[in-house]
Amino acid sequence: MYQHTRLNSDQNLFQKIKNLDYILLICIIILSSLSFFIMYSTDGGEFLYHTKSHLTKLIAFFILMLVISFFNIKFWHWCSYFLYGSIILLLIWVSIYGMTVSGSQRWINLYFLVLQPSELMKIGIILCLAKYYHRVSVEKINSFISISVALTIILIPIIFVISQPDLGTSILIATSGLIILWLGGVKIKYFFVSFVAFLISLPFIITYLEPYQKLRILTFLDPDRDPLGAGYQIIQSKIAIGSGGFSGKGFLQGTQSYLEFLPEKHTDFIFTLFSEEFGFIGSIGLLLLYTIIILRIIQIGAISRSSFARLFCFGFAFAIFIYITVNLSMVLGLLPIVGSPLPIMSYGGSSMLATMIGFGIVMSAKVHNQQTIA
Amino acid sequence: MIKGNFGIRKSDIINRRMFIIGTAKLIIFGGLIARLFSLQINNNKKYLTLSDKNRIREWKLPPTRGNITDYFGNIIAGNLKVYQLHIIPEQVENFNYLLSRLKFILKLSSKRVEKIKKKSKQLKPWESLIVSENLSWDEFSKINNYLYELVGVKPVMTISRDYPFSDIYTHVLGYVSQPSEDDILANEVIQQKFVPGIKVGKLGLEKTLENDLIGVNDIQRYEVNAYGKRINQLEYQKGKQGSKIRITLDTEVQKLSAELLAGKAGSISVMDIYTGEMIAMYSSPSYNPNSFLFGISQDEWQLIRNNPLKPLINKTLSGLYSPGSTIKPIVALSALENGIIDTKFKVRCKGKMELYGQTFHCWKEKGHGYVSLKNAMKQSCDTYFYEVARKLGVDRLKITADKFGLGKKVLGEYFENEKAGQFPDTKWKINKLGKGWVLGETLITGIGQGYTQTTPIQLCLMTAQIANGGYKIEPKILTDDNQLTSEQVKKAMQDSKLNNSYDPLYDDQRNIRIVQEAMFSSTNELRGTSYKSRIEDPKYQFAGKTGTSQVKRISKRERELDLKTFEIPYEQRDHALYVAFGPYKSPRYAVSIIVEHGGSGSSAAAPMAKELFKLIVDRHEYRKQLPDYKEFNI
């Protein structure tokens, strides 16, 4: 054990490769393959644009993840604030020069990739707050200043994202941030009080929502009120999932998606297609795979010596959990439709990039799990 | 070291809090799985149905109508292959160019092209547009020659109604055509089976038996995408041709009837006096039902509509005529039954009769002298029947007339346009006209004039029931072996079976014999009104009664002029009637003939009966050979 510690400080590349977490790695590879096949299915069983693009990104970002994992966790600790700051700058850039698609200004066109900085912020906020709580001493955690700083860190990106407008992502960013506050040790009482305050102010918040957002909530409450309009997606999604049954309609046999009844089947509704073709068994399998990934990340966090690594792993595990929950609840008709991709599975470079970076840092924490950070 | 301690404490906090949310995660994932279970396992059927509803679209094709055959199985309403031209707009590159090519090849009129253009705008691009419903073989092969340059054009072979005997069955069968909105609203079966291009019965049996004839649609099931575009055909479900209907008419007799009445307005009905089966039922003039299949042209329609002989009216069922002297067998029977007269009772005919200052003329100005029932019937002496009617009274006469089916619909369940006519009595006049009955009206009722209105088929039924020995029969037009579903018709068929119980309509059957003999003498004895039309061969020999029904009252001046029929304007000429039954030795068939404005019954109508009986009796031999033939001996 001690010997290990000593070696850890300066491992060579071979040792680092040996120390990679292979359970997590295999899970990620399985997930990536699944996502490739399912993307192939959305293209109607042909090797078309979405499949090609998705495959390229999978390979590129998977390599990126490995590269990240070879950097010492200390390095990631060191540059956390810097990364956070850079993403904030990107958000500012987007709000001025960003691409506008269907009314939202969220994207930067990098030609090889259309970058959505708000997706990166999902990781950035975890990194930044993990570092922050790593550094704050236990006594000061519940001090006014410390909580204020933490909340500010969360609020700045949220203001940008919400004004894009992108309610879904901003909620996810906020949740990821708040979870670090929770893990960092902010009093449960505060969470409880602010939750009650949130509930009370909810009606007022709703009055400030954009009409399309209100519509989504109304549609969620009763999808049948406008079955061909706003409720169409959720109804068709439920039909697709429900008709999948126990074992599904079979690979490439999903009629709902093949016949184009499913909108946004590449992105937010990818689970619908998966569930239609592979049924209850397949869906449980996918959930199981995600659960293994989450548990493995938590485990890596638990064996990490530094609070930064631990906070990051726990936070990231929780964030993945939240993404999955929000996405599945949405396609299963349990939550209103908010744009929220399913990690790795959904088509979309930024989301995959962010997730892979997250995996990379977790992997780095594993490789360097004996690393202490002052 | 101190920092390190804090670090350990901090990781405790983190671990503890992680444990709390870890539990929360499990619960939430459990919830998601429960939801998946509810959607995919519990409600799988519901969503599968919804998914199939989404993706499967059915296209119904017009069903094939059932055939209608005559008694001997000859198809009288069948189906014919027709060639049609469809355009599938989504496959067409240049619609206007295509139309101009078609216009050239098929020689379409500009008006027709405009219509097609208009129609194409109402269709979805994948729905086919019918350019021509009925192409001739020449046009069809021409299109096939040009097909390589006509992208999006589809020559289609389909099935259409066909009436091979053209106009001789029109009034019985009716015809089919495109359903109107009312047709669709009135009939649920049509509603279910409706597809563009379907044809439904508009008249006659085609309409009455619609639900049996219509058949079951062929169904094509396609998988469609979210935009309704057909992706591939999943299934072709063959429909079912409608039920075959067999009717009791004999095409040969029907044809002869049409020949006999050619160029005249009138009707011929022939009935089996035991089974009530109609052997012929022809109303003249008729029209060609095939003209209506693809929409009749305006010119042709006007020609039919404005024909003064009124081809659109089914005279057999809806033509109302005074029965004239054909009523006399009933008057005689009624008087005999009520004991007013016997065979020896005689009246002296002086050519006219005075009653309360009014003169009632016999057709023979010089009078018949002393006449008994037999002679009065033979020579159709009006004075005799004036006297008998006076003694009998109209109310007693009506009871007998009712029994024999006058003033009542005969085939009402099958033909919605049938008329009931009327046989008056004192009560009827008070109710209807608010005036009391006068004796003079009884007199003219006794010779079939006045308020009495009968249809040719009623006279046929009346004659049949006298001929069969005075038993009640229920006329029918469908054979008993038809398997029908329509409630209304089924009930009518059952009724006819039940009612053919041969209830006697007489009190004393000898009276029926007396009337039969009197009718026999009218045709077969010298000076009988239809003596000239007799057949002496006992195989064909028949008995009958002529009738001449006045269309207008004969003025004194006209009586003096004694004009010949051709000298009177057409609309004022008398209707010629004749009722008969035969063969006399063992009667089987009854006939009623009416020639509108034909003049006297003996000269215009009776000769037709001679021709008819020759054929009917011969045809009887063929009927005998069929399995459902029944011998009667009552």
In tens, the pLDDT along B397-417 reads 999 999 999 999 998 888 988
Q: With a cut of 80, say whether residue A264 has pLDDT above it.
A: no
User: Has residue B309 been placed in a domain?
Assistant: no
B230, B276: one domain:
no
Nearest to A76 by CA among A13, A124, A148: A124
**Please, which pLDDT band fits residue B618 given cuts at 50, 70 and 90?**
very high
CA pair distance B362, A153, nearest whole angstrom: 125
User: Has residue A339 been placed in a domain?
Assistant: yes
In this prediction, residue A40 carries a pLDDT of: 92
Average pLDDT over residues A349-356: 92
B46 touches chain A (CB under 8 A): yes
Count the domains in chain B. Answer: 3
- B36 and A332 in contact by Cβ < 8 A? yes
- A294 and B25 in contact by Cβ < 8 A? yes
3-state helix, strand, coil in chain A (%, to 5): 70, 5, 25
Q: With a cut of 70, say whether residue B165 has pLDDT above it.
A: yes
Closest residue to B6, CB basis, from A138, A239, A325: A138
In this prediction, residue A223 carries a pLDDT of: 63
B19 touches chain A (CB under 8 A): no
In this prediction, residue B480 carries a pLDDT of: 83
B127, B30: one domain:
no
B203, B255: one domain:
no
User: Has residue B303 been placed in a domain?
Assistant: no
Output the DSSP codes for A280-336.
HHHHHHHHHHHHHHHHHHHHHHHH-SSHHHHHHHHHHHHHHHHHHHHHHHHHTTSS-
In this prediction, residue B143 carries a pLDDT of: 82
Q: With a cut of 80, say whether residue B385 has pLDDT above it.
A: yes
Average pLDDT over residues B248-255: 94
pLDDT in tens, A12-70: 888 888 888 899 999 999 999 999 999 999 888 888 888 999 999 999 999 999 999 99
Q: With a cut of 70, say whether residue B488 has pLDDT above it.
A: no
Average pLDDT over residues A260-287: 89
B65, B176: one domain:
yes
Backbone region of residue B355 per phi and psi (left: phi > 0; alpha: psi in -120 to 50; beta: other values): beta
B239, B273: one domain:
no
B357, B424: one domain:
yes
pLDDT in tens, B585-611: 889 999 999 999 998 888 999 999 999
In this prediction, residue A222 carries a pLDDT of: 65
Q: With a cut of 70, say whether residue B274 has pLDDT above it.
A: yes
User: Has residue B633 been placed in a domain?
Assistant: no
User: Has residue A307 been placed in a domain?
Assistant: yes
In angstroms, the Cα distances linking A145 to A156, A174, B583 are 16, 19, 125
In this prediction, residue A103 carries a pLDDT of: 72
* Mean pLDDT, chain B, integer: 87
Q: With a cut of 90, say whether residue B295 has pLDDT above it.
A: no
Nearest to B627 by CA among B278, B246, B212, B281: B246
Q: Provide the shortest C-alpha distance from residue A242 to chain B (in Å).
A: 4
B447, B514: one domain:
yes
Mutation for B interface: A141, A186, A243, most B CBs within 10 A: A243
pLDDT in tens, B97-115: 888 888 888 888 888 888 8
Does residue B598 contact residue B567 with C-beta atoms inside 8 Å? no
User: Has residue A373 been placed in a domain?
Assistant: no
User: Has residue B341 been placed in a domain?
Assistant: yes
In this prediction, residue B4 carries a pLDDT of: 44
Give the ipTM. Answer: 0.87
**Please, which pLDDT band fits residue B324 given cuts at 50, 70 and 90?**
very high
Output the DSSP codes for A142-203.
TSHHHHHHHHHHHHHHHHHHHTTT-HHHHHHHHHHHHHHHHHHT--HHHHHHHHHHHHHHHH
**Residue at token pair 């061909």:** A228
Task: Report the range out of A252-266, B10-24, B541-555 with the highest average pLDDT.
Answer: B541-555
Range of the domain at B559: 251-287+315-624
B378, B500: one domain:
yes
User: Has residue B300 been placed in a domain?
Assistant: no
CA pair distance A135, A131, nearest whole angstrom: 6
In this prediction, residue B174 carries a pLDDT of: 92
| β-strand partners of A16 | none
Q: Residue B380: give its domain's CATH number.
A: 3.40.710.10
B143, B273: one domain:
no
In this prediction, residue B620 carries a pLDDT of: 92
pLDDT in tens, B51-66: 888 888 777 888 899 9
Which region among A274-278, B84-88, B402-406, B526-530 has the lowest average model confidence (pLDDT)?
B84-88
Which region among A252-266, B15-29, B294-308 has the lowest average model confidence (pLDDT)?
A252-266
In this prediction, residue A8 carries a pLDDT of: 46
Q: Which residues 204-223 in chain B show a CB within 8 A of chain A?
A: 223
B427, B506: one domain:
yes
- A328 and B32 in contact by Cβ < 8 A? yes
CA pair distance B546, B603, nearest whole angstrom: 9
B107, B164: one domain:
yes
In angstroms, the Cα distances linking B250 to A262, B138, B307, B481, B622 are 64, 36, 28, 16, 10
User: Has residue B295 been placed in a domain?
Assistant: no
Does residue B463 contact residue B579 with C-beta atoms inside 8 Å? yes
Range of the domain at A15: 2-367
B33 touches chain A (CB under 8 A): yes
Contacts of A217 (CB under 8 A, 6+ apart): A206, A209, A336
User: Has residue A372 been placed in a domain?
Assistant: no
Average pLDDT over residues A99-124: 85
B155: helix, coil or strand? strand
Which region among A197-201, B13-17, B448-452 has the lowest average model confidence (pLDDT)?
B13-17
Count the domains in chain A. Answer: 1
Closest residue to B32, CB basis, from A236, A259, A332: A332
In this prediction, residue B496 carries a pLDDT of: 62
Measured between beta carbons, the chain B residues lying within 8 angstroms of A250 are none
Closest residue to A256, CB basis, from B25, B54, B231: B54
Sign for the pseudo-dihedral over CA of A32, A38, A44, A46: positive
Average pLDDT over residues A202-212: 78
Average pLDDT over residues B540-550: 92
Q: With a cut of 50, say whether residue A1 has pLDDT above it.
A: no
In this prediction, residue B137 carries a pLDDT of: 82
B34 touches chain A (CB under 8 A): no
In this prediction, residue B2 carries a pLDDT of: 36
Does residue A83 contact residue A127 with C-beta atoms inside 8 Å? yes
Q: With a cut of 70, say whether residue A119 has pLDDT above it.
A: yes
Domain end, chosen from B246, B272, B304, is at B246
- A243 and B50 in contact by Cβ < 8 A? yes
User: Has residue B231 been placed in a domain?
Assistant: yes
B490 or B168, which is more confident = B168
B81, B114: one domain:
yes
Does residue B592 contact residue B316 with C-beta atoms inside 8 Å? no
In this prediction, residue B107 carries a pLDDT of: 82
Q: With a cut of 50, say whether residue A71 has pLDDT above it.
A: yes
Q: With a cut of 80, say whether residue B287 has pLDDT above it.
A: yes
Q: Provide the shortest C-alpha distance from residue A263 to chain B (in Å).
A: 10
Measured between beta carbons, the chain B residues lying within 8 angstroms of A255 are 51, 54-55, 223
In this prediction, residue A215 carries a pLDDT of: 74
- A243 and B22 in contact by Cβ < 8 A? no
**Nearest chain A residue (CA) to B1:** A374
In this prediction, residue A5 carries a pLDDT of: 43
In this prediction, residue B489 carries a pLDDT of: 66
In this prediction, residue B249 carries a pLDDT of: 94
Q: Strands A99-101, A104-109: parallel, antiparallel or unpaired by DSSP?
A: antiparallel
Q: With a cut of 80, say whether residue B579 has pLDDT above it.
A: yes
**Nearest chain B residue (CA) to A330:** B32
Contacts of B278 (CB under 8 A, 6+ apart): B247, B248, B249, B269, B270, B271, B272, B411, B475, B476, B477
Q: Residue B162: give its domain's CATH number.
A: 3.90.1310.10
Look up the pTM and report it. 0.68
Does residue B254 contact residue B444 with C-beta atoms inside 8 Å? no
User: Has residue B299 been placed in a domain?
Assistant: no
Q: Provide the shortest C-alpha distance from residue B18 to chain A (in Å).
A: 7
Rg of chain A taking only CA atoms, in angstroms: 21
